[in-house]
Amino acid sequence: MQSKIELNKIRNLDEIVSDTIIFFKQNFKPLLKAYFTICGAFLIAGLILAVINFFEMRVHMEEGTSIFTTTYFLSLLFGLINYTATILTTLSFITIYREKGNEAPTVEEVWSYFKFYFLKALWAIIAIVVISSIGSVFCLLPGIYLFTVLGLILPIIVVENTTFNYAISRSFQIIKKSWWRVFGSMLIISVVVLAAYTVLAIPVMLVAEIYALVTGISLTTFYLMPLAVVSSAAQFLYILPIIALALSYFSLTEQQDGTSLLNRIETFGVTDRNAGDNTTEEY
pLDDT of the chain along its 283 residues, tens only? 568 889 999 999 999 999 999 999 999 999 999 999 999 888 888 788 877 877 777 777 767 777 777 888 888 888 889 889 999 999 999 999 999 999 999 999 999 999 999 999 999 999 998 888 887 777 777 778 888 899 999 999 999 999 999 999 999 999 988 899 999 999 999 999 889 888 877 877 787 777 767 766 665 555 666 666 777 777 888 999 999 999 999 999 998 877 555 555 544 444 443 444 544 444 3
Give the Cα separation of 180 and 183 in Å (integer): 5
Tell me whether residue 265 is exposed, middle or buried, using C-beta atoms within 10 angstroms of its C-beta: 0 to 12, 13 to 18, 19 or more. Answer: exposed
pTM above 0.85, yes or no: no
Count Cβ atoms below 10 Å from residue 117 Cβ, excluding itself.
Answer: 20
| Nearest CA among 79, 48, 54 for reference residue 69 | 54
Burial 24-36 (b: 16+ CB within 10 A, else e): bebbeebbebbbe
Amino acid at 114: F
Tell me whether residue 131 is exposed, middle or buried, using C-beta atoms within 10 angstroms of its C-beta: 0 to 12, 13 to 18, 19 or more. Answer: middle
Cα separations in angstroms, 36 against 108, 228, 236: 13, 19, 8
**Phi, psi (degrees; rounded to nearest 5) at 102:** 65, 40
The DSSP-derived string for 160-184 is: HT--HHHHHHHHHHHTTT-HHHHHH
Give the Cα separation of 169 and 114 in Å (integer): 24
Enumerate the domain spans of the chain: 13-269
Q: What share of the chain is helix, strand, coil (3-state, %, to 5)?
A: 85, 0, 15
Count Cβ atoms below 10 Å from residue 200 Cβ, excluding itself.
Answer: 15
